[in-house]
Amino acid sequence: MTEMIVVKELSRSFGEIRAVRGIGFTVARGEIFGFLGPNGAGKTTTISMLSGLLRPDSGSITIDGMDMASHGRDIRRIMGIIPQEIALYEELSGRDNLLFWGGLYGLAGGELRDSVDRALELVELIDRAKDPVRTYSGGMKRRINLCAGLVHDPKIILLDEPTLGIDPQARIRILDVVKGLADRGKTIIYTTHYLEEAEHICDRIAIIDEGTIYASGTLAELVELVGGKIMVTVSGGFGAGDVRELVGDAEIDHIENGELRVKLLDRDSTGRFLGGLFSTGLHVDGVAIREPSLESVFLQVTGRELRD
């Protein structure tokens, strides 16, 4: 598979804050590559460096065979960027916004108008194209925001949390558009802090936190990292020694007074473990069971939950 994006040892600091710490990854042509991480993980900084807006302190970015350091403008011409913010002129109509953004990418005349029409049809906003953006709903603004990054038919699309703060229905529409773009051979980098989005649309996912990629791969590969096991977390008024015997052969992920986290092979062994726990009469405040998922992977590799 052709590598469209190759990133090596990329770092960027803002004063004392090391926002991105030597990350590296590759993205193949036509692939949706997800960055999953909480706010402040370094996703937007990475996108800013990939788009040429920020210069890395060190490392290299190669896109479609061109080095970002020397071919920034050429790279930006084949790239469509959908930022986290609704970055549109609210007083202009949807169409006028797209005419402006398309123009910035060098489109003009009939080619520009045709591209705008195609983009509006793609996000199903052709009927509202003449209305000022300020009159749009939140979901419609998100869609036209997406559209503005697509009007010049880019090879590579960077989406930075494109579904932030919208209702589930509007989110599904945007995700459908993104999947459709990948089907048409576009290379996509998609950042999100929504686990289900990453699971739903990404071919491969990088788990990023504190500027570091902790793990990356397909969903199956990442789940394999936690051994494909069920993770049970028990909290209560017990000592570590009280529960150690109950665990038996199960793999202890974490144990200390008042908290125990174990990995269990399947639901039967989980049932047996919990039955044994309650039969001891130990004081238990809460039990959390996590099936093997991206969430448990995130917890496993970063040591904290995504919503922390």
Partner 1 sequence: MRRGRAWTIWKIAACDFRLTMREKSTVLWIFLMPLAFITFFGLSFGGGSGRTPLAALTVENNDGGFLSADLVSLLEGENYFVQMSDTLPDGADPVRTLVIPEGFTDGVLGRGKVELALLREKGSNENAGRAASAAIFRSLARLVSGLVEIEEGLIREGSESIAIRGDTLYGSLLLVSQGGPGMAAVVEQRIDTMLVRPSNVTVRPERAGRSMETPGGFQSSVPGSLVMFVLMTMLFSGAAITAERQSGLLKRIGMSPAGKGDVVAGKLLGRILIGAVQIIFLLAVGRLFFRISLGNDIDGLFLLMLAFAFAMGSLSILFGSLLSDPDQVTTIGVITAMAMSALGGCWWPLEMVSAPMRVVAYCLPTGWTINGIHRLMSFGMGTAAVLPHIAVLTLFGLVFLAAGAKRLKWDV
Q: Which of 1, 16, 70, 73 binds partner 1 (CB under 8 A)?
A: 73
Q: What's the closest the beta carbon of residue 96 comes to partner 1, in angstroms?
A: 8
Structure tokens at 240: 């570590």
CB of 89 to partner 1, least distance (A): 6
Is 186 or 204 the residue whose CB approaches partner 1 more closely? Answer: 186
Q: Is 7 in the site for partner 1 (CB under 8 A)?
A: no
What is the CA angle 220-221-227, rounded to 5?
Answer: 90
Q: Give the integer Cα–Cα distance in Å for 246 and 143.
A: 53
Of 53, 252, 288, 289, the one binding partner 1 (CB under 8 A) is: 53
Query: Which of helix, strand or coil describes residue 21?
Result: strand
Distance of CA 99 to the CA centre of its chain: 29
Name the minimum Å distance from CB 81 to partner 1. 5
Q: Which is nearer to partner 1, 105 or 238 (CB)?
A: 105
Nearer to partner 1 among residue 113 and residue 179 (C-beta): 113
Site string for partner 1, 77-116 (x = CB under 8 A): x---x-xxxxxxx-xx-------xx-xxxxxx--------
C-alpha to C-alpha distance for 136 and 5, rounded to whole angstroms: 35
- Residue 51 near partner 1 by CB under 8 A: yes
Nearer to partner 1, 65 or 248 (CB): 65
- What are the beta bridge partners of residue 20? 12
In whole angstroms, the minimum distance from the beta carbon of 247 to partner 1 comes to 50
| Least distance to partner 1, CB of residue 18, Å | 20
Separation of alpha carbons 258 and 17, rounded Å: 34
Judge residue 55's burial from the number of C-beta atoms within 10 Å of its C-beta, 0-12 exposed, 13-18 middle, 19 or more buried: exposed
Gap between the Cα atoms of 115 and 106, Å rounded: 12
The DSSP code for 85 is S
Quote the least distance from Cβ 176 to partner 1, whole Å: 23
Quote the CA–CA distance of 209 and 214 in Å, as a whole number: 7
The residue ranges that bind partner 1 (CB under 8 A) are 48, 51-53, 72-73, 76-77, 81, 83-89, 91-92, 100-101, 103-108, 148
